Structure 1
Amino acid sequence: MKKSVKSSVIVLALGLGLSIGTSEEAEAMYESPYSYFNDYGIREKSFASVDKLYTDRYQMEVEQLHKKYNLGVITDEEFDIFLRQLDERDEKSLLERETLFNTYGLVKKDDLKQIAHFDTAFDDYSSLAGVEQMPVLETIQGEGGSFNSFRELGKLNKLKTVNLEANNQLTLNSFKKLTDLETLVLSFNGFENKDESSASEYTQALTTDISALSHLDKLKELRINARGRMATITLKKGTTSYQLFDPIVPSIQFDGAEMNYVSTIESSEVLEWNNLSGKERYLAFSWRIEKGTELSYTGEGQIPIRWKE
């Protein structure tokens, strides 16, 4: 926790009437019931998701109250009293949540534990840190993002749907224990940020191995599209051809499907480049493997070259 956040928690503790000593003593004795997310986008979305939980709960309680009234279970006077109590409680709760969030950027941990769906635009996000505090999360999806790790998702064993964009991940090991996953859609664009995307050469590692998904028996939809660069190779000047055997590792869900590689030739196993001039900066290739209409693993890769005399 950053110093400024610690200070906020200490101030909040004082405001709640807690007796504390130094910040170090307070941190040791006081486990905060609140969470703070460093990423502003996730912080905003978490508050909005919590707010929706309370709004939905309020509307459900109002509907139940109307139902009791229509059935004659409560009188006109009782209906008015109960509705006023609901309104007052809802307004008080909203004021408390807004004060915590707007003043300190905090959200109650107990509220985060109830979030099942997290759907937003991730354009400004650099990290998924914080979503691991949502243990009942079933869906996380959104366009954009520059995540270079999914490790936070690896702790969310109730996840059923993941649809995200990311970068710089050779494997998908973070997903291997998420056995309830039914839909996994991932896109890797090969660049760290938008400023790089106009360049011709990828800057991020290529996702070449998705075998970690092999034990996810409930997967119904699996779509991986990857772009990026592999490790640099060294070629002696004068070399006019290069071969690489079957570098892409699919998961067991693709058993029986044929891989299609495209380099200077098309093949199900081999990448091959011919007529090299010695001026190439990289070797380009693509691949595609599909099974039915719901399973696909496709991509474009570059292999940087270091030419040596």
Structure 2
Amino acid sequence: MKRTSLGGLDVSAQGLGCMGMSEYYGSSDWDTSIATTGHAVDVGVTLFDTADQYGAGHNEVLLGRGIAGRRDDVQIATKFGIDRSSGDDKRVLRGDPPYVKRSCEASLLRLGVDHVDLYYLHRPPQNAEIEDTVGAMAELVQAGKVRYLGLSEVDAELLRRAHAVHPIAAVQSEYSLWTRDVEQVTPVMAELGIGLVPYAPLGRGFLTGSVHAATLDADDFRARNPRFTGEAGRRNQVIADTVRAIGERLGVLPAQVALAWVYAQAQRLGVAVVPIPGTRHAERLDQNVAALDVELDDATLAELQPLSDMVAGGRYTELGVR
């Protein structure tokens, strides 16, 4: 497994996003998910991504069980800041210092560890200034409960303000062939030495060509996602078809083409890029890891580059996935 650095934190060049093991992507199986996390460590994946809001804490408990006895072999990243305690329709993006500290203590308990390697603010807070939130996060670093700090889905101004309080190691944002908004922030990230952790690098499965709204479980949020459904879903199929055709030409899977494109952007953007594709199955994980060995030539990259301009539909429903 190749390695890279996120602002000083040494991690595997590909991580595992664990959200779908608990929520949002239809039914899941505890034992299968536990087995997949263990298999990930076996093949060299060491960066595991979760959050306190995934399954209302279920995901952190699951991950803690999955890496039990192997804590020294992995880097755990978790997130706080989305308070769903009053219901999804009344969720609040919080960053008040007492909440920051309580959230961390609760995450450590669920994970069964004494520290996390990377602690993210999940979204910019509605009830606090970024300086106050990051200041409280910095105190967790000083206390030895957190090693490195991260932010998720922030703009360049907030990133600069946060970094002035305490160094930020990584920014986690959706990034793929059909979502490139974070490129507005990457110049600042390159300047400050901050790594990029793309979530949903496979377009939440759409770019694999195997996910269609009509075949998804009723509790899978993609069945209602604007990009998967209706006219937008039909228009976006051209993107998936293009990725599949390129994969057939190269003798690799569509998912591997999509991930190889993400990796290829690191040099252009000037930042370390560590995608965290999510899966519940060991076979898919192996396929994703194999993308590290897929190199796209300039002609193929040029063929893929315009696809993001063709995307129809928003990233989320009104409530969405946070």
Tell me the TM-score normalized by structure 1.
0.28
TM-score, normalized by length of structure 2? 0.27
Q: Between Structure 1 and Structure 2, whose CA radius of gyration is higher?
A: 1
Determine which structure has the larger strand proportion and give its number.
1
* Greater RCO structure (CA 8 Å; 6+ sep): 2
1 or 2, which has the higher helix percentage? 2
